[in-house]
Amino acid sequence: MGPLNAVLFEPVGCLAEFPPEPFHEIAVKLYGRKGKPSRSASRTYWHLLNLMQAAGNESIEALEVEAVDGAILYGDVLPALAELKAIGVKLLIASSLSNAALARFLAKCCPHDFDGVWNRDNASGIKAAPLRAALDHASLEAGQAMFLTDTAEGLKVAESVGVNSILMMNDPDESQRLAMLNPGGGIVSLHELPDFIRLLRAQGRCMPDCSI
Amino acid sequence: MKKISIYRPTTVDEAIQILSTHGTEAGVYAGGTDLLIRLKNRLKQAPTYLVDIKKIDNLRYIKEDSAGGVQIGAATKLAEIVDSDVLKKRYPMLVHAFNMISSPELRNVSTLGGDLLQEVWCQYLRGGYSCWRNGGYLCYGAIGDNSYYHSAMGGRLCYAVYPGDAAVALIPFDAKAKLATPGGPKELTLEQLVPGDMLVDGRIQSHVVRFNEILTEVVLPPPKPGVRASFEKLRPRGVWDFAMASLALRLDVQDGAIADSRVVFGGIAGKPLRERAVENFLRGKTLSPNLGSQAVSIALANAAPLKYNSTKIDMAKGLLASGLAKLNGTA
């Protein structure tokens, strides 16, 4: 195992604020989901991924693109990405969005030169599949990477792949609950991530359960 | 509590040598009102080797220098600062501020250096949570109860506020800190000494003092003519507590106009927060009843309160208005 030197991003909830309604609409139209959408786009999105996983990965691309069109990049993302790149951290997108939706997101919202971009089409799957594809193609072992997520489902996926899970603490109440699930760490804002990695490097250690 | 060893050096050089030998396992022990509590709290970063500097006899003094400034040894008790006739005469605001630090009993033991370099008093850290300052990778204050002791101005991993009052009160006077280091003496401004959370020797701390350095002295320059200064502090308990918000204010008034100023907030950020936007605004202005409300309107524009502490920003702005009114004689 080497030191921690890569970050995997799922844009929904970690790089941008997405509207939950389009993801909910997909769940309603394809999977018969009832009720109102959650206020959290991330929870709605990950719930949709669960439904997709159970029923064959079908989605409605037009609605995903609609979600992307309503997404607002968090203000600290681009400076943080630039700083991470400057300190030699590999930055990889590992998303369960479609190829078209993700390409639109990157073109419209997040003009950064990532070291790898994986979606459910080129990774041939959702949830863990893009993470595994990103790691494989970057020749990274799981313990060398961290995956940012703000949902319990995301934490489970990180655990299943073996990457270090970092909780994006977007919502304090939800984060309190998720902190009980023992994520590898947590940050309030992406601008803290370079400091996080500097601290690990200065202490000469990786995340818990990750030997150097 | 873990087993500890105590050294009692009699010179600063000897203390530095011991600190250098044990690295980050060692820590300076003076008043102990922070350090011993860290040990009792079983914090992972609490030292195993205590270097008791109380036997070093040239660290505890308050003396005037030839230029009219005042030098205060780092091991000087806070109570001695409060009782100092020299400081009462030259820097009454400072005496007022130090008189609001903790309780009389604690001021009899706590030292100036200890107050400046103390660890944060976040209830999660002190409660043994595995947070950034205690071997973990998450700030529980950011997502838990952050009403009192957490930043309303953003953070860097840890969201606890810098808790000391001494630095907040000293910065307006452009005080400097002297450090003894293995490479010789070093001098820093107080702002440089406590710049907020930094990664120093692999640890997150509010100050820049390395494991093998000792804060030896704080130097106050001679007071300028026409200076008006105030310090106010709002705290959860009026008897004694850390600041929810505090403000140290210094105005240099010449011919009725403000020639220069220092506006330093405490208790709302990870460092003593010098509000330069307000300082720039005040420059050249005449003290007037409206000045407070105008200053408040531009103060703390970068506030980023957590879920439960937006009231700290209101408190800080209220202190700014009342501080300016007080110095204008209208409060």
The DSSP string of B64-81 is: E-TTS-EEEETT-BHHHH
Domain carrying residue A38: 18-69
Whether A96 and A198 map to the same domain: the answer is yes
Whether A107 and A180 map to the same domain: the answer is yes
Interchain CB contact of A186 with B (< 8 Å): yes
Residue B125, sorted as left (phi over 0), alpha (psi -120 to 50) or beta, turns out to be alpha
Which amino acid would we find at residue A12? V
Residue among A172, A195, A204 minimizing CB distance to B157: A195
Does the structure show a pLDDT above 60 at B126?
Answer: yes
Q: What confidence tier does A24 reach under pLDDT thresholds 50, 70, 90?
A: very high
Whether A91 and A189 map to the same domain: the answer is yes
Cβ contact, residue pair B139, A188, below 8 Å: yes
Q: Using CA atoms, how far apart are residues B4 and A2, in angstroms rounded to an integer?
A: 35
Interchain CB contact of A209 with B (< 8 Å): no
Looking at residue A127, what is its pLDDT? 95
Is A1 within the bounds of a domain?
A: no
**How crowded is residue B325: how many other Cβ atoms within 10 Å of its Cβ?**
17
Q: Using CA atoms, how far apart are residues B166 and B209, in angstroms rounded to an integer?
A: 16
* pTM to 2 decimal places: 0.92
Strand ranges in chain B using DSSP code E only, listed in sequence order: 5-7, 26-29, 49-52, 62-64, 70-73, 176-181, 184-189, 198-200, 203-205, 214-220, 227-234, 245-254, 257-266, 273-274
- Please identify, among A27, A51, A69, the residue that sits at the C-terminal boundary of a domain: A69
Q: Using CA atoms, how far apart are residues A16 and A109, in angstroms rounded to an integer?
A: 8
Residue among A166, A203, A208 minimizing CB distance to B202: A203
The average pLDDT across B233-262 equals 94
| Average pLDDT value over all residues in chain A | 91
Q: What confidence tier does B248 reach under pLDDT thresholds 50, 70, 90?
A: very high
Is B264 within the bounds of a domain?
A: yes
Domains identified in chain B, total number: 1
Does the structure show a pLDDT above 90 at B63?
Answer: yes
Nearest to A90 by CA among A202, A184, A4: A4
Looking at residue A207, what is its pLDDT? 53
- How far does A170 lie from chain B, in Å, by closest CA? 9
Looking at residue A57, what is its pLDDT? 74
Structure tokens at B193: 């000494």
Instruction: Determine the residue among B24, B45, B137, B140 to mutate to test chain A binding: the one whose Cβ has the most chain A Cβ atoms within 10 Å.
Output: B137
- How far does B122 lie from chain A, in Å, by closest CA? 17
| Average pLDDT value over all residues in chain B | 95
The average pLDDT across B7-31 equals 97
Is A210 within the bounds of a domain?
A: no
> pLDDT per residue over B152-199, tens digit each?
999 989 999 999 999 999 999 999 999 999 999 999 999 999 999 988
Interchain CB contact of A198 with B (< 8 Å): yes
Does the structure show a pLDDT above 90 at A107?
Answer: yes
Whether A117 and A50 map to the same domain: the answer is no
Is B278 within the bounds of a domain?
A: yes
Helix intervals (H) in A16-165: 21-31, 41-55, 61-69, 77-86, 99-108, 128-137, 152-161
Is A121 within the bounds of a domain?
A: yes
Domains identified in chain A, total number: 2
Whether A129 and A119 map to the same domain: the answer is yes
Q: Using CA atoms, how far apart are residues A128 and A182, in angstroms rounded to an integer?
A: 19
Looking at residue A211, what is its pLDDT? 35
Looking at residue B256, what is its pLDDT? 87
Write out chain B residues lying below 8 Å of A192, CB-based.
155-157
Cβ contact, residue pair B137, A175, below 8 Å: no
Instruction: Determine the residue among A170, A180, A192 to mutate to test chain B binding: the one whose Cβ has the most chain B Cβ atoms within 10 Å.
Output: A192
Does the structure show a pLDDT above 90 at B270?
Answer: yes
Q: Report CA-CA distances (Å) from B300 to A9, B164, B273.
A: 33, 20, 10
Nearest to B168 by CA among B268, B290, B297, B301: B268
Cβ contact, residue pair A179, B156, below 8 Å: no
Interchain CB contact of B23 with A (< 8 Å): no
Cβ contact, residue pair A172, B143, below 8 Å: yes
CATH of the domain at B247: 3.30.390.50
A positions 138-177 inside 8 Å of B (CB)? 166-167, 169, 172-173, 175-176
**How crowded is residue B290: how many other Cβ atoms within 10 Å of its Cβ?**
9
Q: Using CA atoms, how far apart are residues A56 and B189, in angstroms rounded to an integer?
A: 64
- How far does B91 lie from chain A, in Å, by closest CA? 39
CATH of the domain at A136: 3.40.50.1000
The percent of residues in chain B predicted with pLDDT above 70, rounded, is 99
Is B253 within the bounds of a domain?
A: yes
Is A209 within the bounds of a domain?
A: no
Does the structure show a pLDDT above 50 at A209?
Answer: no
> pLDDT per residue over A80-105, tens digit each?
999 999 999 999 999 999 999 999 99
The percent of residues in chain A predicted with pLDDT above 70, rounded, is 95
Whether A120 and A186 map to the same domain: the answer is yes
Does the structure show a pLDDT above 70 at B330?
Answer: no
Is residue B101 within 8 Å of B166, Cβ to Cβ? yes
Whether A167 and A78 map to the same domain: the answer is yes
Interchain CB contact of A193 with B (< 8 Å): no
Is A81 within the bounds of a domain?
A: yes
Whether A108 and A58 map to the same domain: the answer is no
Domain carrying residue B278: 227-328
Is A195 within the bounds of a domain?
A: yes
Nearest to B266 by CA among B180, B146, B169: B169
Q: What confidence tier does A33 reach under pLDDT thresholds 50, 70, 90?
A: confident
Nearest to B307 by CA among A170, A42, A14: A170
Does the structure show a pLDDT above 80 at B11?
Answer: yes
Does the structure show a pLDDT above 90 at B90?
Answer: yes
Structure tokens at B328: 């204008």
Whether A62 and A117 map to the same domain: the answer is no
φ, ψ for residue A73 (rounded to 5)?
-65, 135
Which amino acid would we find at residue A96? S
Place of tokens 């968090």: A74
> pLDDT per residue over A165-200, tens digit each?
999 999 999 999 999 999 999 999 999 999 999 888
Is B80 within the bounds of a domain?
A: no
Is A12 within the bounds of a domain?
A: yes
Cβ contact, residue pair B159, A188, below 8 Å: yes
Does the structure show a pLDDT above 70 at A205?
Answer: no
Q: Report CA-CA distances (Å) from B290 to A206, B21, B286, B321, B324.
A: 55, 58, 10, 9, 10
Is B92 within the bounds of a domain?
A: no
Q: Using CA atoms, how far apart are residues B219 and B64, in angstroms rounded to an integer?
A: 10
Q: B22 forms bridges with which residues in the sheet?
A: none
Residue of B nearest to A172 (CA): B143
